[in-house]
Structure 1
């Protein structure tokens, strides 16, 4: 019999769901099942569940045709569960590695009705805080117990996911999740009160994700009043159960008031105009449910809050809160002042000039936005390229009333195509454009000084589908995140209005790596439109411009950058590679846009057949010219796959890269073609013809289906219509 049924409801958790499922399925316990319930999620959560169900028989995916909410979705999973125990795990949380071994041992040893497990709060800034387990149980209980023997058990967080419940016990009790917010309250407390055998496992099993955006604990609104309804259900149920639970009323009442005050005290939940009404309802419930013999009220400030609630003294309660907040602000300011004390830097002419320009920028911010101005940039002002260039070209065609202006560095001005208006970075015109633009489009972030003005629209196009981890996820891989300012990164991300993604996978990863309130436009990558629409004549023209003849086989080698190994170049010998390609072989070598260019001198025989194209302004030209792509962990593979031409993953340092830099998926296990782990293997792939063989072609087709489905030649148009023209998204699209 299955020991544990995991019920995983999913709604808007696509950025976290894979980590959740992997943490369950990777546990060293076999007799489990996972019931994933897609609560009619508008993102890719349902597809992720279906994907896992297709490849792992332990996973069962359920799609709901309408959104029912977290509680009813859990009920759907419970009804389909077959395990002896049920564990409700939220789709954005994840299990600690190997914790299931100890969980299973304890379940089999004590056969409890409820097993409570420990957790940590995993904050978005990569910090963790422990639960109250150690405070409640200084020493773990010896054996099972009933709640009346240890009423302090109720001080543990009242969630569904920090406890495993015997399924037959739940069925006999008839306990279900209620609809609405705070659904855990009317489930977890009655469960504990009814259980004959409660056990505690003092092992951290759950990472409770504290999301920066999207959680109800960070969402203001009147739905937080639903907490009262849930607690009313608890007390009405206790009335039905009668004297059997009367001795628990004082402890339950104390938890109710504690919970109400916790919700009220969170400024991110209850808006100022709703606070008085919320407090009044607390007072009403205090007087309605107060046990005849009283209850164990807390001491100190918390006890004072309880007394003010009992007396209905809102003004005093509010003044007390204001005084405490003022004290906290004063302390924070004092700490900030101490941190900012530093030696005065030497003033230079350049710094003085920069200061004057920043003042000019601030003055321009006071002028109205230019309703016709769109500012474009790419790769830290390196020139006219990538997704912003494709969007610019589509906007010129579809929205000619919008004036597009590019920002470029002075040393890159010569690369700007004729007829494209530009400003040079660092000049007064640059600051004026940044201050006045209605739209700002970039494939990286604009500098920190750039203000997000009301009415302006910031579009983050990104510049690749991520293999390596990005954004906040890099905190788990410090070797590859040296010098990263994550707080600054989040301030920049908060400026985004739109995030452009090329596929559902990217959407999921960006949502986790860059948590903020932007709107995702999952439309395909604009820069790839050209790969779809290019004609045979255009391909021949591009090849001719690169000096490539009609009968020559062109291989583009484009490795990615290793941030953790500056200057590193994968082992690659062009001469030996050309020997395998034969006399008609040509090699284009493109380094990453940072500083990995191979500047070694070439042998005379190589010079005509090897070309360094690192400085070529349009990588799309190189894709069109190449017959085969060789890469490692670069996003180039996703773009080149649009052409449906052979791709080889050459990953000589895969294990080291995966461990040091971190990756989102295994390109050697789910590749877009053949895979080589050594240079000798790479030569053998070309020598034997495996590069174009049926297994490689099949892998490429699967890869294209997963990552390239949206690249139909109209991605830039979709962005322009949504962002510049304000048209609604196409039916069925994630934008």
Structure 2
């Protein structure tokens, strides 16, 4: 008799005591016999393990495990969680986010009906301290439809650019087929490095077209940390995607979609360099510009023209046109644009510090 769980919920946790109780309760309150929850405490110095143990004791009938380890970083922790998982499908969950009610039951229903390689989930970009900023993030795929066109799956994926590990619930077999270690130890942006590679190995997809998670935004989030290394690590993660797809027999059209996604990513990086001290930001911009040209399959102007036109399978052409225009201004060092970015980003830095 096969007693393996259908779904493994995997939670990497480091100094997560503030939010971990709410995160784990959001899972435990909807778990059933076909689910398991695995938490790894990555060498926390706070009460992370105690919070997890207390909840284990409160839900003794459910399959839960707590693993403690010396601090190894998020990428290594994700790899160890995959080694520990027994479920047919994998759901990663950050230690400060919430699984919304009914999500596990709907994932179960999709698996039972379609058994896709991946389930793409809508979610809320959640600002609990300023709910007016909270917005639903919808994936570009049609709802409740089994998609089996790999090219279409990948084009939409790169137009969405939702690389979060938790936003894509996948068969464990997809993870197991990749070279080990899957998540590169010691690197940040490990999901941007790995998720496109995983999606490229998926032959079928279903979108769960309702918010499945509250993705918490707060000044202490990992993505708020900023340095020259943050910028180049982000760029190197995107470069991994280009190198991976270079080895695959993909169409010229898909390569153009990958390039458009790359431009969107690089705009995020270049904008954030204006939050840094001037000299550090200028050095980071120079390195990032050099990496951008390595990242593209096509000439940059070809990509920007495609983004400004009607070539891409885009569900937000206005955003693509705006991104193309911003990239041209950023690379040209347009004085008015640069000054505006300097002022705007400095204001954001002040706002984050005030909210912290």
Fold match (TM-score > 0.5) = yes
Distance 1:22 1:163, change over 3 A: same
SS, match of residue 156 in structure 2: helix
Match in the other structure for 1:16: 19
Q: Could you say which residue in structure 2 is the equivalent of 1:277?
A: 283
Change (3 A) 1:17 1:267: farther
Q: Give per-residue Cα distances to partners, 1:380-435, cap 9 Å, x unaligned.
A: xxxxxxxxxxxxxxxxxxxxxxxxxxxxxxxxxxxxxxxxxxxxxxxxxxxxxxxx
Partner of 2:112: 108
> Counterpart of 2:340?
323
Query: Which residue of the partner structure matches residue 269 of structure 2?
Result: 263
Whether contact under 8 Å (2:123, 2:137) holds in the other structure is no
* Aligned ranges 1:35-114 → 2 under 5 Å: 35-55=38-58, 56=60, 57-65=62-70, 67-114=71-118
Q: Residues 342-353 of structure 1 correspond to what in structure 2 (within 5 A)?
A: none
Q: Distance in 1 between matches of 2:345 and 2:45?
A: 40
Among candidates 181, 185, 190, match of residue 192 of structure 2: 185
Instruction: Say whether the 8 Å CA contact 1:238–1:245 is kept in structure 2.
Output: no
Q: Which has the higher contact order (CA 8 A, sep 6+)?
A: 2
Q: Which residue of 2 aligns with 1:226?
A: 233
How far apart, CA to CA, are the structure 2 residues paired with 1:275 and 1:327?
Answer: 15
| Unmatched tracts of structure 1, length 5 or more | 331-486, 495-514, 517-735
- Given candidates 25, 40, 47, the residue that maps to 2:28 is 25
Residues 715-734 of structure 1: matches in 2 within 5 Å?
A: none
- The answer to whether 1:297 aligns with 2:312 is no
SS in 1 for 2:107: helix
Give 1:119 deviation, angstroms. Answer: 0.5
The residue correspondences of 1:499-538 to structure 2 (distance < 5 A) are: 516=356
TM-superposed deviation, 1:46 = 2.2
5 Å matches for 1:326-475? none
- Asked which structure has the greater CA Rg, the reply is 1
Tell me how far apart the structure 2 counterparts of residues 271 and 86 of structure 1 sit (CA, whole Å). Answer: 41
Q: Say if 1:271 and 1:203 are closer, same or farther in 2 by CA, change over 3 A.
A: farther
Matches within 5 A, 1:141-220: 142-150=145-153, 151-154=155-158, 155-174=160-179, 176-179=182-185, 180-212=187-219, 214-220=220-226
RMSD, matched Cα: 3.0
Q: C-alpha offsets along residues 680-721 of structure 1, whole Å, 9 cap, x if unaligned?
A: xxxxxxxxxxxxxxxxxxxxxxxxxxxxxxxxxxxxxxxxxx
Equivalent residue, structure 1, for 2:315: none
Q: 1:249 offset after TM fit, Å?
A: 2.0
> For residues 115 and 81 of structure 1, do their structure 2 counterparts lie closer, same or farther at Cα, with a shift above 3 Å needed?
same
- Structure 1: 4+ residue segments shifted above 6 A: 327-330
| In structure 2, C-alpha distance between the alignment counterparts of 1:329 and 1:269, rounded to whole Å | 6
Are residues 167 and 28 of structure 1, via their aligned partners in 2, closer, same or farther at CA, if it must alter by over 3 Å? closer
Cα displacement (A) at 1:278:
2.5
Q: Show the counterpart of 1:249.
A: 255
Distance of 1:133 and 1:193 partners within structure 2:
20
SS at match of 1:106: helix
Offset, 1:270: 4.1
Q: Which TM-score applies when normalising by structure 2? A: 0.82
Change (3 A) 1:286 1:220: closer
Matched residue, 1:523: none
Give the secondary-structure state (helix, strand or coil) at the position aligned to 1:184. helix
Whether the 8 Å contact between 1:257 and 1:282 is mirrored in structure 2 is no
1:120 lines up with 2:129 in the alignment = no
TM-score normalized with structure 1 length: 0.41
Among residues 227, 241, 244, which one is paired with 1:237 in the alignment?
Answer: 244
Structure 2: tracts of 5 or more residues without a match: 309-319
